[in-house]
Homo-oligomer: A and B are copies of this chain.
């Protein structure tokens, strides 16, 4: 049997009782180590589980999946994933390979960032499509995901932005020279994500695809239609929520404008960013006020007013 086991989001003790029992009895235990991280390292997990873990990097899972599945029809093999096994799409492939080889599989679920973001008080059912924000390079600065954020907001839905993780990447030079030397891991912060988002807002404004910020400031006191337009577009003042190390003891949540997200200090990885859907339920606003870093900006009035 192949077991796909979610580890949850915090530390070694966030595995379920059922998951821990399975880990202890499997013949081999793999740890998927490229789509997310816990606040503790592999060694802490090994100590708590009382087992050696085999770290599976992207190459291992995507190109050498057969190693993982070897003998899984005869003995039990566990594949551990931070969060929930189906948070990342890459694990469907492992299930399909198992199914093709007639290997039965079971999933032991756990929290993932996809549902744990509810802890900030925004209602989960009001989230639209989730987007990923990748590190820009000098030559690759994708903006296309931003249309999906805008569409969510136009429909009154929040957007969860998953932020880029780079592990086991080679520099161009090392890649060309075939040297298996890897760069230190990089985890995108809420600050970096917000800065990239602001640059997109400004680019689109210059190209005339987004109304200007001044327009909003001037119109905010006027009629409902202007307020509605403000709720549908994304500007420096759009209400966002930054989250860090969700599920861990030292998790941090900050609610403020997109501009404020550029400088808010949330500490170490992993970070996520939510762009709110504009119109919110009073309970959502009240919950966000627990995490407010807002001073006197336009969208903040609805939070501070409570």
Q: Report which A residues bind B (CB closer than 8 A).
A: 6, 8-18, 20-21, 84-87, 89, 92-93, 95-96, 99, 107-112, 114-116, 118-119, 121, 123-132, 151, 155, 157, 162, 246-247, 281, 283-284, 286-287, 290
- A sample of 26 cross-chain residue pairs with beta-carbon separation below 8 angstroms, ordered by A number, consists of A8-B110, A11-B18, A12-B17, A13-B17, A14-B17, A15-B16, A16-B110, A84-B111, A84-B115, A85-B118, A85-B119, A89-B125, A89-B283, A92-B284, A95-B121, A107-B119, A109-B116, A109-B119, A109-B247, A111-B112, A114-B118, A114-B125, A115-B115, A125-B162, A128-B128, A129-B157
Chain B positions within 8 Å of A151 at CB level: 155
Q: Which residue of B lies closest to A284 (CB)?
A: B92
Complex partner residue of A21 from B13, B85, B95, B157, CB under 8 angstroms: B13
Docked complex Cα distance between A109 and B111 (Å): 6
Taken together, the copies of this chain in the complex come to 2
Residue from A8, A96, A132, A157 with most neighbouring chain B CB atoms (10 Å)? A8
CA distance A129 to B277 in the complex (A): 11
- Of A17, A126, A151, the most chain B CB neighbours within 10 A belong to A17
Contact across chains for A109 and B9 when beta carbons are under 8 A apart: yes
Per the bound structure, the CA–CA distance linking A257 and B107 in Å amounts to 25
Q: How far is the CA of A292 from the CA of B118 in the complex (A)?
A: 32
By the criterion CB–CB under 8 Å, are B21 and A16 in contact?
no
Contact of B18 with A17 in the complex, beta carbons under 8 Å: no
